[in-house]
Amino acid sequence: MAGKAVWHGAALMVALGMGVAGAGIGVAKVAHGGLAISKAIAAAVANPARPEADRSRDGARKPAELLAFARVHPGMKVGELLPGGGYFTRMLSKTVGETGSVYAWIPETASARSVANFKVVPDVDYTNVSLVRGKTFSAPEKLDLVWTSQNYHDLHHNGGSAEPTNLAVFAALKPGGLYFVTDHAARKGSGTGDTDAMHRIDPDFVKAEVEKDGFKLVGESHVLANPKDDHTLSVFKIHDQTDQFVFLFRKPAK
């Protein structure tokens, strides 16, 4: 695919060689911007086993739209970087289903509190989810998709570098595999200057960094954009009301 076009909904799936009708997963409804929400995704979001604290955030976080944008579907092998409390892990699990797998990676340097906060493993409702620990991201099999939400900036905390993780993601993906990244937007041109104090990162910096590490940007969504956010506050002061970027990168097929 030439260039860095902004794709939305079903058009993105067709552009990536997977039309909605050809996905074999059914379409439950059409939402934001013509985005096709599959029955598997709709059921995963509506799953009554999800904690109420998670469900209460759905209006702001728009999980169905994001899962559809990343074309998550049954049978996929998915890796999740820094899953936090498992907000997306649970929905990824139910969307990929019994024939799919989710590998949630928490670095071995993470605090005991961070690990304890991830309560998806063990859980009888999410038996296709495995917790992976290690110095760098990895999975026991090649992946179709690697997903990270609101945490990419953490890779740059205290002067850290995201490059080792990006390269590990690249190695873990199948040829043509996808890398989904969404995070809190920082001021344009700020680079990584706001990652520590405000937990934000410059979207243009992320694009350039991930592409430098071998990926191609194939999709961008504005579903989480908030023009009222002036990028001057810590995300913990406005939580899910931040202006957020949503990118989909692809590992070259050859």
Q: What is the pLDDT of residue 78?
A: 98
Report d(CA 200, CA 208) in Å as an integer. 16
For 73-104, b where at least 16 C-beta lie within 10 A, e where not — what string?
bbebbbbbbbbbebbbbbbbbbbbbeebbbbb
**Angle, CA 150 vertex, CA 95 and CA 182 arms, to 5°:** 70
pLDDT on residue 35:
72
Domain 10-250 has CATH 3.40.50.150: yes
Sign of CA pseudo-dihedral 235, 220, 58, 97: negative
Express each pLDDT in 161-195 by its tens digit.
999 999 999 999 999 999 999 999 999 999 999 99
- What is the model's pLDDT at position 36? 85
Taking the CA atoms of residue 209, residue 68, residue 45 and residue 122 in that order, the dihedral angle to the nearest 10 degrees is: -50
Give me the pLDDT at residue 3, please.
Answer: 40
Q: Which residues of the chain have pLDDT under 70?
A: 1-34
Q: What is the pLDDT of residue 33?
A: 55
Distances (CA, A) of 20 to 10, 27, 187: 6, 8, 36
pTM of the predicted model, to two decimals?
0.89
- Residue 121 pLDDT: 94
